[in-house]
């Protein structure tokens, strides 16, 4: 039998996931790649690693910077699920 506390925990888990998707770092199309706009962390200015770079806007970052006006549509990153 499902108790009231179980329902509260499930609701809380969904709320935390929703808030993380809404308020956390967001992925966008930028020029010819996908970037992750993240205020707390940015890739170094000369990052040579092949991945979606964490960036922020020029006037607020010491790391990799972008022109906010050139941001494209938001990009939803698909989570990889391994088949067993």
Question: Is residue 6 in some structural domain?
Answer: no
Task: Say if 9 falls within a structural domain.
Answer: no
How far from 4 is each of 1, 12, 15, 17, CA to CA, in Å? 10, 12, 16, 20
Is position 17 within any domain? no
Domains contained in the chain, number? 1
Domain residues for 40? 25-84
What are the backbone dihedrals phi and psi of residue 30, each rounded to the nearest 5 degrees, phi first?
Answer: -145, 115
40-84 tens-digit pLDDT: 889 998 888 888 889 998 777 788 888 888 888 888 766 555 554
Quote the distance between the C-alpha of residue 79 and its chain's center: 12
Q: Which helix (H) or strand (E) holds 57?
A: strand 53-57
Q: Is 34 helix (H, G, I), strand (E, B) or coil?
A: strand
**Sorting pLDDT into bands at 50, 70 and 90, what band is 13?**
very high
- Indicate whether 20 belongs to any domain: no
Is-above-0.75 flag for pTM? no
Q: Does some domain include residue 49?
A: yes
pLDDT at position 11 is 94
Indicate whether 18 belongs to any domain.
Answer: no
Residue 69 in domain: yes
């Amino acid at each position: 039998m499902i108790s009231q506390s179980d329902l509260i925990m499930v609701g809380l888990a969904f709320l935390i996931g929703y808030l993380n998707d809404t308020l956390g770092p967001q992925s966008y199309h930028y020029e010819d790649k996908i970037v992750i706009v993240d205020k707390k962390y940015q890739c170094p200015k000369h990052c040579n690693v092949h991945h979606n770079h964490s960036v922020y806007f020029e006037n607020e970052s010491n790391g990799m910077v972008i022109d906010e006006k050139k941001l494209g549509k938001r990009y939803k990153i698909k989570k990889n699920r391994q088949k067993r």
